[in-house]
Structure 1
Amino acid sequence: MTEKNKTARWLRRGVLALLALALLAAAALSGAVLMAHHKMERRVDVDVKPVALRPRGDTAALERGRYLYASRGCVDCHGADGGGRLFIDAPNGLRVAGPQIAPGAANATAAYRPEDWVRAIRHGVDPAGRPLMIMPSEDYNRFTDEDLAALVAHIRALPPVQGTPAMVEMPLPVRALYGFGLIQDAAARIDHRLPPALPVAEGVSVAHGAYVANMCLGCHGPQLAGGKVPGGPPDWPAASRLAPGKDSALARYPDAESMIRLFRSGLRPDGTPVRVMPFESLRQISDTDMRALYLFLRQLPPPRKG
């Protein structure tokens, strides 16, 4: 066999190998997209107990609900008026909008029963049992019954608006990562067996700080060790480690006042801005909640390895 024939044969083999790899990649991508569809349509069986809704004249519940809505991230996804908001519009085609939840024609919660509010807020599951794709329910899973009822009271009392429905547009690579389980929805990350949290006296205490810290779990992880934000666009930076130890962001904040300045300004002590964190909501957190949170973070043990 001449050298020319040998070269031609190796070229044919190389082309066939590349074609085989391309076919395998296409099959894998197709399979991942199919798995993603099945995951989005799956039923999540959650045993929920309805929380008694507050009467519209309960001013204390309405005020507490207003504070929670403003300070716990609801504004960032649903808008201050509850009319819905586009909050991810990434160059790769990932677009996500929270739905209207205030009264009005596009209200996604208009037919919610008391148990549906519990299912959605605590468990990230819609009334039909399907996962709410971007709802960060791991942050709200530990809400007390009182706080959950107060939040719902505020939402139901919002003025009617002309809003927009939910939107989740995932490009093929993101859909594939979701299908393969490398990105999970909140319903897959929550321990649905946990009972509701018991009320804790509001004050500058470790116990109250631990309750406030539940709002950090969705981005910073169950041990507050930081890392890639689950479900976030590829260009988002990793969430900082909040637990003490090597490389902890807490080292930049020697006292509660320095952390309060971060929450109010969105700037680190050196003046550089922090990306991604929902400062529109964080600016609304009370000094009491922030001082309690700082106290809790300072006494945390370093995250477990593994």
Structure 2
Amino acid sequence: MDVKRFYRIASSAAVAFIVFVVIAVGSTYWWGGRKLVRKIDVAVQPVTFPTDAGAVEHGKYLYESRGCMDCHGANGAGKQVFDEANGLRVRAPDITRGNSDIEKYQLRDWDLAIRHGVAPSGRPLLIMPSEDYNRLSDSDFGALVAYVRSLPAGGGQPADIRLPWFIQGLYGAGVVKDAAEKIDHSLPPSPPIAAAVNAQYGAYVANSCKGCHGATLRGGNIPGAPPDWPAAADLRPSGAMKTYPQADQFVAMMRSGKRPDGSEVSRVMPFGAFAKMNDTDLNALYLFLAGK
């Protein structure tokens, strides 16, 4: 084969490859846009929200200790969660009655949004980690919503989510999934589980870890997370839990963000929420994760 012919073939192959990549990326980006507006039909059973002070106070505890506060702010008025150089921008919405959209929420809409990752319109809610809350019992879910509904009106700002083209492409390709894709919507809510220092209750608490650490808590890269985020730790007994042979070491880490040797755990962990968790929840979580 002469040199000119070789270069013609090589050039044609390169052009064909570039065209293929452009079409592939464009197609996944287009599908990502289609997924953003798809309709999801979820049947939910009505839940009566409590009004007594004890339930609302328990709802406040859940709001502060299960990560809601980290995105929506202590007052529920929302805040900037991501503002990355790559174009990823996420502002969590005001979820108080100051937001006219939230003010229109019916009882079922709260369930769709929190436990299923679905907006009242039926479209998926991006970023909202409903896989963490899908297993909330009706009593805990009702208390949580009762507290949110008791908050004074905030600034009223809606969500602002802007995905860079490559994340939308990964979303279209199914590499990055929204919560509604991860959840088995046919499962009924978890039955009430009494708060106690045992592994059964610890498994219930551990549901709030699944958004980052995965459904089986094996850890790994967090799809859709900013590129500088480290992989989530493997929380099984054979993984990161080997670092904590004693429950008090684990509890101290969850409240300080530091391992027993003094080294810092990843700063992306929501230690602001973990520090609010009570001794019962943390010790039960330890028993479950450590396999004890």
What TM-score bracket applies, with the shorter chain setting the length?
A: over 0.9
5+ residue gaps in structure 2? none
1:173-188 matches, within 5 Å, as: 173-188=166-181
Asked if 1 retains the 8 angstrom alpha-carbon contact of 2:29 and 2:166, the reply is: no
- Structure 1 match to 2:22: 26
| Deviation sequence 1:94-148 (CA, Å, 0-9, x none) | 12221110121x3542111111111111100001111101111111011111111
CA distance in structure 2 between the partners assigned to 1:128 and 1:70 by the alignment: 28
Classify the secondary structure of the residue corresponding to 2:90.
strand
- Structure 1 match to 2:283: 291
Computed over aligned residues only, the root mean square deviation of the Cα atoms, in angstroms, reads 1.5
5+ residue gaps in structure 1? 301-306
CA distance in structure 1 between the partners assigned to 2:45 and 2:223 by the alignment: 28
**Alpha-carbon shift at residue 90 of structure 1 (Å):** 2.6
TM-score, normalised to structure 1, is 0.91
CA distance in structure 2 between the partners assigned to 1:252 and 1:110 by the alignment: 46
CA distance in structure 2 between the partners assigned to 1:270 and 1:93 by the alignment: 37
- Structure 2 match to 1:92: 86
Q: Which amino acid aligns with 2:97?
A: P
- Structure 2 match to 1:50: 46
How many residue pairs were aligned?
A: 291
Q: Which amino acid aligns with 2:206?
A: A
- Structure 1 match to 2:145: 152
Q: Which amino acid aligns with 2:166?
A: P
> Which protein is bigger by CA-based radius of gyration?
1
| Deviation sequence 1:190-227 (CA, Å, 0-9, x none) | 01111111111111112211111111111111111111
- Structure 2 match to 1:198: 191
Classify the secondary structure of the residue corresponding to 1:109.
helix
- Structure 2 match to 1:7: 3
Find the partner of 2:68 among 65, 71, 74.
Answer: 74
- Structure 2 match to 1:112: 105
| Deviation sequence 1:229-282 (CA, Å, 0-9, x none) | 23312221111111112xx11011111111111111111222222221111111
| Deviation sequence 1:153-210 (CA, Å, 0-9, x none) | 1111111121432122111111111100011001000011111111111111122111
**Alpha-carbon shift at residue 297 of structure 1 (Å):** 1.4
- Structure 2 match to 1:304: none
Are 1:265 and 2:259 an aligned pair? Answer: no
- Structure 2 match to 1:303: none
Asked if 2 retains the 8 angstrom alpha-carbon contact of 1:218 and 1:230, the reply is: no
Are 1:101 and 2:95 an aligned pair? Answer: yes
1:131-280 matches, within 5 Å, as: 131-245=124-238, 248-275=239-266, 276-280=268-272
Classify the secondary structure of the residue corresponding to 1:92.
coil
Classify the secondary structure of the residue corresponding to 2:120.
coil
Asked if 2 retains the 8 angstrom alpha-carbon contact of 1:41 and 1:130, the reply is: yes
Distance 1:252 1:107, change over 3 A: farther
TM-score, normalised to structure 2, is 0.95
**Alpha-carbon shift at residue 72 of structure 1 (Å):** 0.3
- Structure 2 match to 1:37: 33
Q: Which amino acid aligns with 2:48?
A: A
